[in-house]
Structure 1
Amino acid sequence: MSDRNTVHARIASADGSKRASRTMGKALHRVFSSSWIIYVVLIMLAAIYIMPFIIQIATSFKTDADAAANPVSLIPAVWTTAAYQRLFLNSDFPLWFKNSVIVTVFVTTGRVFFDSMAGYALSRLHFRGRDTIFALLVAVMSVPMVVLLIPKFLIIKSLGIYDSYFGMILPLLIDASGVFIMRNFFESIPQSVEEQAKIDRAGTFRIFWSIVLPMARPALITITILSFQGSWNELSHFIVATQSPSLTTLTKGVASLASGQLSAGTQYPIKLAAAAIMTVPVAVLFFIFQKRIMNTNEGSVKE
């Protein structure tokens, strides 16, 4: 009797193992099937997102007639760099590019410095009204920037810096989102690191500059890229800060090209060539530092 029970138990165990294997196989099949569906959907979305940029690059190498006749074709009938030659030789594009570089370099440098200092002050220094200032900072982040254009214009005019590099740069030297990011990153750094420096009689600025700031490298890189992209692509501020043609930036110049103020309505190659060149610096900066942006825990210290 005991042998018969043992045989039945083994048969039941084998059947259970087979059912478990079949169940596991079905589950794995569903997982892999759903993964393939997800990959296909992601590839399609990526293609939809990238396709306009590819069409833009292809059209910039077409003739005006070819672009008008075949606006979405990916292969030009005749490859030509005439649009780029016109941009650099027969337009103010080099001047626009120079102005954008000057403004972007100063704004990016200023934001990295001042945002980090303000973020450190809100994170580590104890003073009256600190929480109120931070609350106002968060409130400013929720206000659409277009609402502030008229007050910004009035302030720039009253300070006498309208139509100048100062008027284009100074109002952009600090932004609420950068301060918010730096403040939150500094909050994640243990204070024991700074307490040891205080024992060695290091001052507040020395602690910030020599000890805490190097540890905030991931946040600094993030701020650098966001500031570069924001100032490089800024348009509304430059509209209210200047009207001199000699201070036109790439965004204003390309907008004028797109609207047909500086070119005929069907001159697609020169317009898209200008737009393509404008996207290159931001794309290069992003691809260089994208791994460091993703690794947001780099440099953190655990107690």
Structure 2
Amino acid sequence: MIASEDEQFSRPYDQQVEFRQLEAFVAVGTELHFGRAAEKLHMGQPTLSELIRRLERELGTSLLTRTTRRVALTQAGTELLGRAKLIIDEVEGAVAAVRRIAEGGAGRVRLGITPPVAPVLAPHLAAALKAAAPDVELSVRRMWLPDLQRVVADIDGELDIAITCGLVPDPPGIISEVFCAEPLMVAVRPDHRLAGQGAVDLTDLSSETLGVHSDALFPAWTLAQRQALEAANVSPPTVELTDTDLSAGRWAAQPDVDWILTTRSVAGSHMSTPLLPTSPARIVPYTLQWCPIRAATAAVGRFVHLALSVDVPPGWLTQQDHLRHATH
């Protein structure tokens, strides 16, 4: 004995409703025409009809009334249509969001920087990331160098990427790349004997007192300065600056200081004394460090690629082979 349609609906299947059944129903419920709905879904009309019948059997009720001339929604069908549209929109939105994350178009990047990176380089890279991947969230955290290297090396840490000035040791499991550099500058007093020159050889200042920041205040910046002096084979007498701002814009008020080392990004608009380039040219390199495990996340990997390939800020040096040191 064959059960009636009502009897069939009263005994729903144990299978769960499939997503493609909802897609089929929404197409028919919207078009109210099986032929047009089948064309919209790029499937045959018999396949579409079978999907609707299976859905009705699973739900235990009729969703559509069909005649030779028209298709109409039942009360249950009207209720399901609105809900099914929301479900499809949510699923499609979720799929699109996951794909954006997988492709590096969305997600989160946690960047740690030392203070010298903050004035120019960090905003430059943030703007480049915003232009390339506006849905990627970039959080930037300023840190002292020892803490920065410790946290970026922690596999469960709070950072994905670190940027600092100077050449720094590679923490275990971390990849490092010197990816850009800024010309080193010398600041002297307006009445200094070298103030009118176009450039200054650091050896000409080797006997004059250099003002330096405290290691405790700016360890990354003092490291970069020491490395520049070592590269120039210069060991001038030094005194600690009383100006505790990174820019050291008030250094000339300290009478026992004859000159300081700086860059245009560090000095900013605060420097009132002459700024002179060095000859031969000296640089302050900037090092990018990242954990390869976290860089497997597309957003982090995208930021690393962008930092290594985007144009550097005006006046900076781009990625040259002589600025790089080996990755691991």
TM-score by length of structure 2 reads 0.24
More helix by share: 1
Per chain length, whose mean CA-contact separation is higher, i.e. which structure has more relative contact order (CA < 8 Å, sep 6+)? 1
TM-score by length of structure 1 reads 0.25
More strand by share: 2
Higher-Rg structure is: 2
